[in-house]
Structure 1
């Protein structure tokens, strides 16, 4: 060695993990995810067992969308350092992944370490509710509010659980408490709007939704909710704009698109072509989101007992339930096995009578479209039937997956769904004439008599004498949803009232529970010179009281283009004839079909002038009205509309006809999926008089 002296190198500074972790937190909270990830990884390069870095890197990975990898990192951090905060975060991420039981286990583990951890109690309540246990959720959320009364989210979670169990007042109180703590919580404003809407306070609900939108203007669901209450107030232009705004923000938002389609059907200024084009757009959006299943028919399956699935949120005290009940009791169980897929939880007397008619009853209200579609496919359903169309609680996106080899729509709607994956629309020649089949994406399958069958109420109510005989003046009536009373309807009905001296109009519907809507309705008629004293506006009633209200009506007026359905059949059952107007689509033909079935073709008006003339002429024929009132119920009960055994045979034949065509196509095409004939009536037998929907 030489004797030269060398200067020593300065010592490298020690790695400050705490400082880097703080920098990571700052990046993470500011949304600079790449910078935050770099910091977490840098710490782990120096210390692979650094629990905080491992844990919050896992949270970040979940935040950017990779839940499985992020959850794995979080679970490893808990192995290194078990603590309540880590476990609470694990519960949050498992909840995002829809692993509700896993989330519940994580929250409970957190609470075993920190029993007074309010956030974990609240989150546990949320997870319990998502798992379907709202009763236990209430206990957890209530505990959170006791431990931390200033915790606004706990009050919201408590309100949601209370709402599930029917405690609307308690839920509303919880939401108001949340808003007192945090007036800028859009969720709380939205939830208040939900409750107000439920109780028919549409104008107040609109204000709540508008407050939520002021806070979150780009939230599509809020625009959809606002559209619903604007629609209920008859503000159709504003409602349409709200639904379109929701779709502009989220083009695949199925519920908003369904609501828009339902509304467009009520507007006389929207052509059939426009409505069909919008429905096709819905179909394209939903088909693009789904992975369509393929089905191959098995040899020798041309004739077999068919498994038919019904998808509906209305298997209860609802028009769909009323029309199903008598039919299901007469289906031949050696030919048809029924499986129910209920899209909402609602238990009542009708659902309790319907459920035994099905071999299985599945609640699909809380599972997503893909899981639902796979379940239906795994259940080996041969024919899947949509009973909702674009009405409330529909699950049309599930049908885009094609979980059954044959799919049809029936009963609950009156226009095309727009989904090419739905093969048939079950109809009859009156509601869907052959020359109007181009209005449907689905192929028509015509039943011989009618496309549905009415179940008479399970209680008896007297028809009663003609009200005009007692009061001297005619009372017109309409018990339809107020959205059907567009400006053209109000204008024509005002002319009817003006032309029939002393006549009155009874409107009875849920929307008229709201005093604001009542005032607006009076103003709409006043604009046509009708004194408010000639209008009787009433809200909703239990079904028996609703039917009894027809004892005060001489003639029912059918709106247009959205004709009455159940309301019209119930009017006839109560001895009240229905004046309807001829239309140009399924929706409008319903009224024609009903009065034809009842043997009253003269009660179909060709146009506005004919509608007015018939209203005036029939109003003057008191003896004829009295005779009708005394015989209409018997006519109805004797018609195909109430012949459940006959209808059940026709429905069985339809399902087996669809299956035979499917099996034959598979046999001919060597296993390729069958395509229905888009121009076929579906049933070559002679068609008789039909019924209503």
Structure 2
């Protein structure tokens, strides 16, 4: 036999997978391998194939030391370093291989993949693009999938989607590319398209954990927590500790209102990985859903404290809002400064509703809304027929609050007053079927009441199509219970933002916003993506038949001193920022014996407000907290107070209307944004513009002066009482005719093929 025969025999063992025998044969040949390259390389590769990476590396490096320009050998060495998670060394080795042989495709692919694994997405993309420029062989589905991952890491989502689709064109059964394409569609707000594509892939090709995770997230985005739970549970059946599946399961359970189960799952996920921002945010959401605001704030705070990469999240804003609800103002100025800077730079998400509560900045509110829409609801709106040019306008109001709720109370009377000859009115309820008195009024007032809380998106859209809606009105916006995905898909050819959310939706699929000249002054349209429609008086509807009960009400019953001056604010606690509270404490200090009557919303807020009063030198006993009573008594008890003090940047809205309707004057200072100008709008419609002041100093001085001048305050109360029967604020029939004129103009423009455009409705007194 020739001298090469023992090496050929060892190679044959190696190629047959008899690795232990091959390794022994290679070792016997090492002493005779005078160059120290060939046998060391083959021995290293055999050891690597057997799983002994450290030993393999020693032999490959020994060979490379003797042949430093052998590109294939360097590439093999880099692969072992990469498998041993020594990626920086692997990168350097792949670069040496490429220097030795620029056309070595394997080394270039390995370099690009290694950069991707290190999260160096820009460099990885350059490496993939260099491969494409050289037209090297091997640009298969995996290549395009990995290139897409680099683009996704750079937030070039559209380009990434194109790369993943290129991978699927080469290999339609590539599960990684299918999952990645689905994720990109979701990041583009096209969750419906993502779910449809992934569902079809699973039916045809079968499921993988990666596919199921993305499918589950898409189903959550479409407000389908039940099917999402099934997807996550399928992953967990194969891997009970899968972190992303546990997080998804917790989110799905929260969506199903199974909060205790959700928290158990999320707590388990957090115990496994205490640094998981996603799990902590989801736990905060679950705590908030079960109204444990302190626990929610703690979870959000823990999440916000963990450093994060390029992908932004809302943990900091959610922490700030959770603390506001508890009147915990810890580090609020620093948090607001960070949020404002991050939102301006595009490095942090600022959720739209939280933005309203934290900042009096309508331009920032628009940016926050637009980013939210871009991240969650950027899919194409369905093509729908134009509205009918004649006949009854089919109007669909959509809300999660058709019940005993501020929105329910405000909208019920308007629905009762709609002209049934001119309008066919539908209520699409995406909230609970409570059966309470307000929901009963609404059911009786409309042509059809559609219970849609548990219906999937497609079923709700089908109901809207069957109703033949001309106009759909979103009464939620970005407030609780909203289903913005319905409007993103297209419920009607004309879609309107009204009542529930005092700011722009930032969405091109919402055509109009209902406002007035106070809440959105002329010239402020640049802060709105909707065409602004101004009603002639306050944009907020009220109830001219509101039940105000006064019999049997007394100050003593509510813990108020009989002879003291009673300041009042029944706004939600998240509207009470330290600037307002500081002013209130100075006002109490200047009005001896006076008290401040506040809403008792939650125990932590009550405790913190009392502590804050004490810290400012005010006896906490001078804060009196109002518990829950029925609606009629709640309205009536306002008359026991002397003056309502408003908040900023988020004004009293329904609470101001309640106070004025009960004869209690409201003192307000308007801000720059819609949310901070509603009380001024209501006061103008009630004929009390003198209660609108233009500075913080005037606000405090006016409150103190009115407390010291009973005659002046009495005259204001008398003027309000005289105005109530006829003022525009509580002339609901007049309001109904005016908003109907707005709807008719919207319908007529769309029926004529004209785009949405802002306009002002001329007043139509009387019914």
Q: 2:165 touches 2:177 (CA, 8 Å); kept in 1?
A: no
- What is the aligned partner in structure 2 of residue 3 from structure 1? none
Q: Does 1:156 align with 2:247?
A: yes
- What is the aligned partner in structure 1 of residue 624 from structure 2? 536
- What is the aligned partner in structure 2 of residue 83 from structure 1? none
User: Are residues 526 and 280 of structure 1, via their aligned partners in 2, closer, same or farther at CA, if it must alter by over 3 Å?
Assistant: same
TM-score by length of 2: 0.62
> Which segments of 5 or more consecutive residues in structure 2 lack a partner in the other structure?
18-44, 52-78, 84-109, 118-123, 132-136, 150-159, 186-190
Q: 2:380 touches 2:488 (CA, 8 Å); kept in 1?
A: yes
Match of 1:476 among 554, 567, 573: 567
Q: 1:311 touches 1:386 (CA, 8 Å); kept in 2?
A: yes
- Separation of aligned partners in 2, 1:17 and 1:223: 58
Q: Does 1:559 align with 2:666?
A: no
How far did residue 480 of structure 1 move?
A: 0.7
Deviations 1:172-197 (A, max 9, x none): 22221222222232222112222334
- What is the aligned partner in structure 1 of residue 343 from structure 2? 247
What value does the CA root-mean-square deviation take over the aligned residues?
6.0
Match of 2:116 among 3, 28, 31: 31
- What is the aligned partner in structure 2 of residue 263 from structure 1? 358
Deviates more, 1:171-180 or 1:635-644: 635-644
- Separation of aligned partners in 1, 2:739 and 2:687: 23
Q: Does 1:172 align with 2:263?
A: yes
- 1:366-381 aligned at under 5 Å gives the runs none
Q: Does 1:324 align with 2:403?
A: no
- What is the aligned partner in structure 2 of residue 336 from structure 1? 423
- What is the aligned partner in structure 1 of residue 761 from structure 2? 682
Equivalent position SS for 2:760: coil
Deviates more, 1:100-109 or 1:445-454: 100-109
Q: 2:553 touches 2:637 (CA, 8 Å); kept in 1?
A: no
User: Are residues 331 and 252 of structure 1, via their aligned partners in 2, closer, same or farther at CA, if it must alter by over 3 Å?
Assistant: farther
How far did residue 454 of structure 1 move?
A: 2.2
- Separation of aligned partners in 1, 2:488 and 2:214: 34
Q: 1:57 touches 1:73 (CA, 8 Å); kept in 2?
A: no
Match of 2:609 among 521, 543, 546: 521
- What is the aligned partner in structure 2 of residue 49 from structure 1? none
Match of 2:736 among 643, 648, 657: 648
User: Are residues 67 and 354 of structure 1, via their aligned partners in 2, closer, same or farther at CA, if it must alter by over 3 Å?
Assistant: farther
User: Are residues 187 and 661 of structure 1, via their aligned partners in 2, closer, same or farther at CA, if it must alter by over 3 Å?
Assistant: closer
Match of 1:222 among 282, 297, 315: 315
Q: 1:341 touches 1:363 (CA, 8 Å); kept in 2?
A: yes
- Separation of aligned partners in 1, 2:210 and 2:369: 42
Q: Does 1:577 align with 2:664?
A: yes
User: Are residues 417 and 102 of structure 1, via their aligned partners in 2, closer, same or farther at CA, if it must alter by over 3 Å?
Assistant: closer
How far did residue 580 of structure 1 move?
A: 1.4
Match of 2:584 among 482, 490, 493: 493
User: Are residues 282 and 303 of structure 1, via their aligned partners in 2, closer, same or farther at CA, if it must alter by over 3 Å?
Assistant: farther
Match of 2:364 among 275, 278, 293: 278
Q: 1:307 touches 1:383 (CA, 8 Å); kept in 2?
A: yes
Deviations 1:404-455 (A, max 9, x none): 7766543234456677886654344565666987887766544345433324
- Separation of aligned partners in 2, 1:440 and 1:373: 26
- Structure number with the bigger relative contact order (C-alpha 8 A, sep ≥ 6) is 1
- Separation of aligned partners in 2, 1:598 and 1:578: 10
- Separation of aligned partners in 2, 1:439 and 1:100: 33
Q: 2:254 touches 2:289 (CA, 8 Å); kept in 1?
A: no
Equivalent position SS for 1:477: strand
- Separation of aligned partners in 2, 1:100 and 1:423: 27
- Separation of aligned partners in 2, 1:102 and 1:538: 53
Q: 1:243 touches 1:260 (CA, 8 Å); kept in 2?
A: no
Q: 2:643 touches 2:667 (CA, 8 Å); kept in 1?
A: no
- Separation of aligned partners in 2, 1:506 and 1:315: 29
- Separation of aligned partners in 1, 2:526 and 2:345: 31
- Separation of aligned partners in 2, 1:95 and 1:288: 14
Deviations 1:86-138 (A, max 9, x none): 7x9978976876554775788799999xxxx9999999977876676645766
Q: 1:206 touches 1:230 (CA, 8 Å); kept in 2?
A: yes
Q: Does 1:237 align with 2:333?
A: yes
How far did residue 531 of structure 1 move?
A: 1.5
How far did residue 390 of structure 1 move?
A: 6.3
- What is the aligned partner in structure 1 of residue 706 from structure 2? 614
Compare CA radii of gyration and give the structure with the larger one. Answer: 2
How many aligned positions are there? 627
Q: 1:122 touches 1:140 (CA, 8 Å); kept in 2?
A: yes
Match of 1:507 among 580, 598, 613: 598
Q: 2:164 touches 2:177 (CA, 8 Å); kept in 1?
A: no
TM-score by length of 1: 0.68
Deviates more, 1:181-190 or 1:536-545: 536-545
> Which segments of 5 or more consecutive residues in structure 1 lack a partner in the other structure?
1-6, 40-44, 47-52, 78-85, 266-274
